[in-house]
């Protein structure tokens, strides 16, 4: 029996060779937003391994939209050129499609790297800045309150997403993922916990969805029509009275009408009061419900670690693709090992072909 995990998947007009996705993983190794050799090696190793899709980490659409001063950005010619170099290399070693997650950190911006404490950097410090948000509500007690976005600020950020999408297209990305999860700016607009506005962008569900939908539509219009635009969503805040699955399903309906090709279903990240029930595949119920009720393809993520687990997720109709983050960091050759366990045939780069245990005693299947 063939493995569903290793069958092609079409997202919009883009076909992936398999349904394994390398999820976006912040590296905090950029210089002024520009990815360097670390990113070339980090992403290149996955391209050698052959997942269907590789998603580049949360990338700020403007300088103030980065999580940390060390995060990638796509707002300069230098960054655009650096990403083009990485994409060229990835395409030279494998068939993986390459996407980028465009993001704005909102009130979670101007922070230190995790290994430097992860706390807020004051705007008074040389490498800090004033964060922007739907409302002047700080992420954590003791943090500086962000500046509430006015009409000019909203217009600036919409334009930044559009400019980043155009840069992504020129650099050669096959796909764009808009980040509306994990407590970053677009998620902050969606959740009543962080959105306290009393204008057209706050209050009702329709109003709270307005700016994220405006950003999505603007990116969809700016990115080539034959390349997909998808969105990463936190399906719930895990807090009573916050953003929840019912609202996520309504948002998914609206996104589908706006031309969204897939939803990458995650959860949480908005507020540290969250009570997350963690376990293997703990977000799968959200993915399944959004897929079924909004009739839109979904990508599942969250403690998906084993090949049989991934295969079962697809066979049971919970998702159309599976994404791995920490599992890929731990085992960059996860795709190869999954193919061996599930009995799927894969091709390896020619210099590595002889390491494939499944090919012992058989002619090597290689790719040049």
Query: Do the beta carbons of residue 233 and residue 263 sit within 8 Å?
Result: yes
Is 184 catalytic? The answer is yes
Q: Rounded distance, CA 226 to CA 53, Å? A: 16
- Burial class for 114, CB neighbours closer than 10 Å (0-12, 13-18, 19+): exposed
Alpha-carbon distance of 86 to 70, in angstroms, equals 18
Catalytic-labelled residue, pool 75, 139, 184, 201: 184
**Which residues carry out catalysis?**
184
């Amino acid at each position: 029996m063939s493995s569903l995990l290793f069958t092609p998947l079409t997202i919009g007009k883009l076909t992936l060779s398999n349904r394994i996705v390398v999820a976006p993983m912040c590296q905090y190794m950029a210089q002024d937003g520009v990815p360097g050799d670390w990113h070339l090696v980090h992403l290149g190793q996955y391209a050698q391994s052959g997942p269907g899709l590789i998603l580049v980490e949360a990338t700020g659409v403007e300088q103030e939209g980065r999580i940390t001063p060390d995060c990638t950005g796509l707002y300069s010619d230098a960054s655009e050129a650096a990403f083009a170099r990485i994409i060229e290399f990835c395409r030279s070693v494998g068939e993986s499609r390459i996407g980028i997650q465009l993001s704005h950190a909102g009130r979670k911006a101007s922070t230190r790297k995790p290994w430097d404490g992860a706390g807020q950097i004051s705007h008074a410090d040389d490498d800090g800045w004033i964060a922007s948000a739907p409302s002047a509500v700080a992420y954590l007690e003791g943090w500086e309150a962000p500046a509430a976005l006015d009409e000019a600020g909203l217009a600036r950020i919409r334009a930044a997403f559009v400019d980043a999408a155009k840069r992504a297209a020129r650099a050669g990305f096959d796909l764009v993922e808009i980040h509306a999860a994990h407590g970053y700016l677009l998620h902050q607009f969606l959740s009543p916990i962080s959105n306290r506005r009393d204008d057209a962008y706050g209050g009702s569900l329709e109003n709270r969805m307005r700016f994220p939908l405006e950003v999505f539509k603007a990116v969809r219009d700016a990115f080539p029509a034959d390349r997909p635009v998808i969105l990463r969503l936190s399906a719930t805040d895990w807090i009573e009275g916050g953003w929840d699955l019912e609202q996520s399903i309504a948002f998914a309906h609206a996104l589908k009408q706006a031309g969204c090709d897939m939803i990458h279903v995650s959860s949480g990240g908005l507020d540290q009061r969250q009570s997350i029930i963690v376990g293997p595949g703990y977000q799968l119920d959200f993915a399944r419900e959004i897929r079924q009720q909004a009739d839109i393809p979904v990508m599942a993520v969250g403690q998906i670690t084993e090949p049989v687990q991934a295969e079962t997720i697809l066979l049971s109709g919970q998702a159309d693709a599976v994404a791995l983050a920490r599992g890929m960091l731990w085992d960059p050759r996860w795709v190869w090992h999954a193919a061996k366990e599930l009995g799927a045939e894969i091709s390896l780069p020619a210099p590595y072909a002889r390491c494939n245990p499944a090919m012992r005693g058989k002619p090597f299947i290689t790719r040049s």
